Structure 1
């Protein structure tokens, strides 16, 4: 059986649905193929989304999308053996509504409704098996025995880009450019969440976690509050995951720290998930995410950024989908499927927040691959704070506490060098 569409989008994640939404608005006949039984069933993310692309391109979204909580509190948590150090930014009302927590399935369901409202078609439970070429131009896919012809194909497969890699449309990145993230979601009473973190019903917390139970491995932890749930996770560089430590054991140890015990006491685990995460930053993006008849978007193209404190993923995915749709519109108006017209995509990306952010943090992958950040710095902070806030007979001076803490964990010159390197990167 042969079916014809203007555009086939492979993958129903944020980048694929964004592409489909804008193409449908532009009048293209679009088909999204999602291998999961429903949107979001094969997608995993931490839980936080930045608002700006929706404010810019999805009018009325705040009235339609039922977010969990608005991120009003940013936390950097360093866990010591038993103690903890917590740095908090409590946002004012003007900044409170610039990011939110949500379950990805809810976000994708809403985006899917937007696609269908513009005439796009979404087929769930359908896996694209092969790519169709005609005169070396990508011209459709085979899925479930059906031949689906199209003028353009957009690859939105996520970080694990099976088809694009199989057909050499992108190279397979080195394992040292990846991390593995594991996440647990717990049912926690809403009033308990509010009381623990000093929140009201629509305010939320986004936290980054270092030290203690994370055992100095390259990676970190995160915590996001939903209305009645808390998402807790760890991200570990792939070269260390399963060799030095098992991520699932690591998240279990994290949960047993005294700081976490008070949060998760009597909580009910409802979900465990894992996924690969790109840690390469600017060095991990595709030089040529386009070719004759096709474009590559979102995680598949490497558009994700870990700044060391926050992660930009869904917002970059949505933006890349918009640029892909604009590129196909431009190419189609010029009556061509040639890569010289589809190269417009990279022009749009390079003039966007995606590339600007990745370029600004171009060396962050080097900084985040240094175990010093994860093993030595937390130890220095823990020792320093315990001395400064000593409960013994005599107090310690800040300067003496700092020097003693540094000497106990690291050389002073080495620390200065590491801090300068880290500061320049992040």
Structure 2
């Protein structure tokens, strides 16, 4: 995988996607599969059976060393130093003014000092994998490198070291179990452990971005095609379907999960996005953005900002990001749509939107979306739109 910004990057599975007839699209400088056939069929496969995604465009950054945890506590808003080996945490990296640079998943890796074969390995056994969004990976890498000054820790760009496959859906565990030596039953949500899958060394994680149970498999790029084919073969009886980015977007939208660039941006703090709970003021030491975020927290308590809500259409017209949320009575602007799409599961168009707090309660009447000059009626609902049965 190349990081030459002058040309489009291709994942290790590029030729395989094309052989499967994928419609490819540019996404954050990567050539990625948008769909293989029907978006609806791919979406429904994940909801009812299982889907297989190539997510190798995500940005992996390894932070290691005796003060790796302390560095991440300083650089990010979450309590990362307190993470146990094998666990993962959803967090954010913010600017000094509190604006969100990116939302991240951080895994604390399990390392065996004996395996390193060095005398000081035990001193250096703290290692974390930071996974950034593709479009923000360089920004996150640069920020971590800059914030590492004064810490005994190394920040390494590992985007070329990994391919990432995601197996998502209710049948995912049943498909993966016969192929791996890992204890999948013992692998909790937001955890990751080393193992082998179809003979391929992997970091096996259980985080997901679809609202379903599932697994993320971080492997060396040269092993990606072998792993994909093994999963596809094992999953065939269960109806496993290759899935593109298009259905990943409708799946995460139904699950009420934010997307950077839509629900999250540098113009918003975690408190503006309704995610203030991930900011840990009680952790040791200072962290970038603390002062601004403390003010944002007080502001959110006294004068609630716009709130992120769900909207369900009463008609058939689909709202898109940037469309105004308005009063159905007089067209007064109440907010703005951040993401919208037809929902295969609900059978109606849905959207996430930031709306004024006075109109954010589920069931609020008189709310519409301005779709090309027409006020289309929408119902305000609590997120998520869809929640799987445990």
TM-score, normalised via structure 2 length: 0.25
Higher helix share: 1
Give the structure-1-normalised TM-score.
0.24
